[in-house]
Structure 1
Amino acid sequence: MSDVEFLVGQRVTVRHRLDDGSATDVVGRVVEAGPHGVTVERRDGSEVVVAADRVVALKVVPPRPARSRRALDVGVDELVRVTSLGWPAPDVERLGDWELRAAGSFTGRANSVAVVGEPGLPPADAVAQVLAFYAARGLPPQAQVVVGSDWERRFLDAGWVPKAGYRGGAVVQVADLVDAPETDPRVDVVGAASDRWLSRYGRVDDATAARAVLEGPRTVGFAELEDGGVPAAAVGRVVVTGEWAGVAAVETLPDHRRRGLADAVVRTCLAWAHERGATRVYLQTMPDNTGALALYAPHGFVTHHEYRYLEPSQEAHSRSSGDHSAGA
């Protein structure tokens, strides 16, 4: 494959050979192309790298048709995987459908096992592997479970307990991004998190670890709004993975609140995402953060599901590490 750079940004179908000699197709947007092959981003934001010598046929296809399925109708497991792509830990291991994530303790989302689907092992063996993964990295084991799910019940029955503290979980809200909101000229969206942006966002003890997560996705923007000569009086982050966008880290300096700055950041982030092909958007916030929920409500956000973090009690930790009879 040569002179294929023109494919970047186009929607294609690529038939390619697998290791066993069979062939399969991948459909999506080309995000990288060169003599060594192509990288195709599917609609859920996952990427497939196809080496040039595996390509059987490649065809440009029409743009993706408008989807009739609403954001609210997307399954929980699918949305959990999408949100993980938008907040990617640099250290990840797969355990069946589960994703074990580590990022030097920067946020629970990037330092917990995302428990959706099946681990591909007996439950007790899977939990033992979770414990071993985090022990090897010197991090406390955490499970991100969907509230009301079967796995939440099974972990609780096995002696795991809710993680203590304010940030023990979140509500996930979604909206359909049909039209682009009007942008605010005071908001700049750039591709990297500046030191100033990180200081406004807070929650950053290790800037290197934070940037590894925040800047990890291929298509990500960091919004800064200047107000009254004060740079980055309000900030936010927006990421696009496939047809999904995620808005996060919207913060306003205390002396600049109640001026509509946060809404200006949100509107500009949504417009930025729409311009890059997003048709649905999600956010994650605390269920008791009434201010944030009120900020997003005018943009059509509604609750999709909630999750929380569980951690093993001392007894459950010992039982899971010592023998595999636990039924988590």
Structure 2
Amino acid sequence: MDLVGRRVSVRHRDGDGVRDVVGRVVTAGSDGLRIERRDGELAFVPTGTVLAMRVVPDRPRRTRRAATFSPDELTRITLRGWPAVESVPLGDWELRASAGFTGRANSVAVHGDPRTDDPFGAVVDFYASRALRPLAQLVEGSPWDRRFEDAGWVPVTGQPPGAIVQVADLTAVPAADPDVVVEAHADDAWLRHYGRVTDPATARAVLEGPATVGFLSLDDVAIGRVVVTGEWAGLAAVEVDPAHRRRGLARRIVETSLAWAAAHGADKAYLQTLRGNEPALALYRPYGFTTHHAYRYLTTS
């Protein structure tokens, strides 16, 4: 039986105990199964540890509404949609490095407990060893946001200072536009329209990292990216060439992204955009997106 795409329940040996994993099979090889849980977390079950397995019905949709997730929960979810080339845990935090490609992939994601007496020093040392400036992504107004400020960290300059995170429940999903092409990989034309790429190999490693990701293009003048991790979809990189704006092309990219996400099992969606970017906010508003929280980047002074 081809298990890829199926929802399974697997009981397996885990160390000295027994553990159950329920989720969608992403890959099935001779070495084992990669299973994506509801929240997008990936679990690997080695072949020799499986005690019992069965295919189970698809999960019920929308057990929780998007707005009920905490900022820490949503931070962890969004990390899976934009994975760094290198990711190292610091307790619950995630130290991310990707040769400078985007702040999200080159900052420590702060959520939960770092489980160390000197988290600030650990962050500085990690980025210094990779010739990158220390950068922390923090939920605005959170306790850790204030603690970083008290430790002397300051807002970044020379790059976007952060973003607002918006969420929506996927209820009345629009139809896909038949003229919008969705591919599994970011080709050279897509990267050229994205416009933030200096090293294509690094960019592709980040952008193509998730197991379920689509790169949208329309008439070689508009692009977008959509990723599905568990029950969540992430929309990003909606770009339209300046000479072709105000023709509804971005709307067609967004609607096809939402349709693709729903077809791949998502019932909630998030996006991240600059505060004050009213054209972007207006683009997403008709689909039910509302602001959940904001984050910002701080660095050492």
- Contact preservation (8 Å) 1:29, 1:40: yes
* Residue number in structure 2 paired with 1:23: 18
Displacement over 4 Å in runs of 4+:
none
Question: Quick one: which of 9, 22, 44 aligns to 2:5?
Answer: 9
Amino acid at match of 2:293: H
In structure 2, what is the equivalent of residue 295 of structure 1? 283
Quote the residue 2:250 is aligned against.
262
User: What RMSD, in angstroms, separates the aligned Cα atoms of the two structures?
Assistant: 1.1
- In the TM superposition, residue 52 of structure 1 has moved relative to its aligned partner by 1.4
In 2, Cα distance between equivalents of 1:59 and 1:179: 32
Residue 61 of structure 2 aligns to a residue in which SS? coil
Tell me how far apart the structure 1 counterparts of residues 272 and 27 of structure 2 sit (CA, whole Å). 30
Partner of 1:305: 293
Counterpart in the other structure of 1:102: 97
CA contact (8 A) 1:263 1:295 kept: yes
TM-score of the superposed pair, with normalisation by structure 1: 0.90
Using the size of structure 2 for normalisation, the TM-score is 0.98
Within 2, Cα distance between the matches of 1:285 and 1:78? 19
Using the TM superposition, give the Cα deviation of residue 35 of structure 1 relative to its aligned residue in structure 2, in angstroms. 3.4
Q: Is the 8 A contact 1:169 1:306 kept in 2?
A: yes
Alignment partners' CA distance in 1, 2:281 and 2:204: 26
> Which residue of 2 is the match for residue 202 of structure 1?
195
Q: Which residue of 2 aligns with 1:56?
A: 51
1:223-242 alignment runs, 5 A limit: 223-226=216-219, 232-242=220-230
Gaps of 5+ in 1: 227-231, 314-328
Map 1:205-224 onto structure 2 (within 5 A). 205-224=198-217
Q: Give distance in 2, aligned partners of 1:6 and 1:236.
A: 31
Alignment: residue pair count? 301
Aligned to 1:84: 79
Alignment of 1:281 with 2:235, yes or no, is: no
- Larger Rg computed on CA atoms: 1
Is this contact kept in 2: 1:180–1:275, CA < 8 A? no
Asked whether the equivalents of residues 11 and 61 of structure 1 are also in contact (C-alpha less than 8 Å), the reply is yes
Does 1:68 find its partner at 2:56? no
Contact 1:187 1:264 survives alignment (8 Å) = yes
The answer to whether the aligner puts 1:251 opposite 2:251 as a matched pair is: no
Checking the alignment, whether the CA contact within 8 Å between 1:16 and 1:23 is kept in structure 2 is yes
In the alignment, structure 1 residue 181 sits paired with structure 2 residue 169 = no
Structure 1 contact 98–113 (Cα < 8 Å) conserved: yes
Residue 166 of structure 1 deviates from its aligned partner by: 5.2
Identity rate of aligned residues, in percent? Answer: 59
What is the distance in 2 between the residues matched to 1:311 and 1:34?
42
Contact 1:17 1:56 in 2 (8 A): yes
Q: Distance in 1 between matches of 2:26 and 2:242?
A: 39
| Cα distance in 2 for residues equivalent to 1:129 and 1:311 | 13
CA deviations on 1:213-266 (whole Å, 9 max, x unpaired) are 11111111111101xxxxx21110011111111000001111111110000000
| Contact residue 238 and residue 246 of structure 1 kept, 8 A | yes
The counterpart of 1:132, out of the listed 125, 135, 140, is 125
- Cα distance in 2 for partners of 1:11, 1:64 equals 8
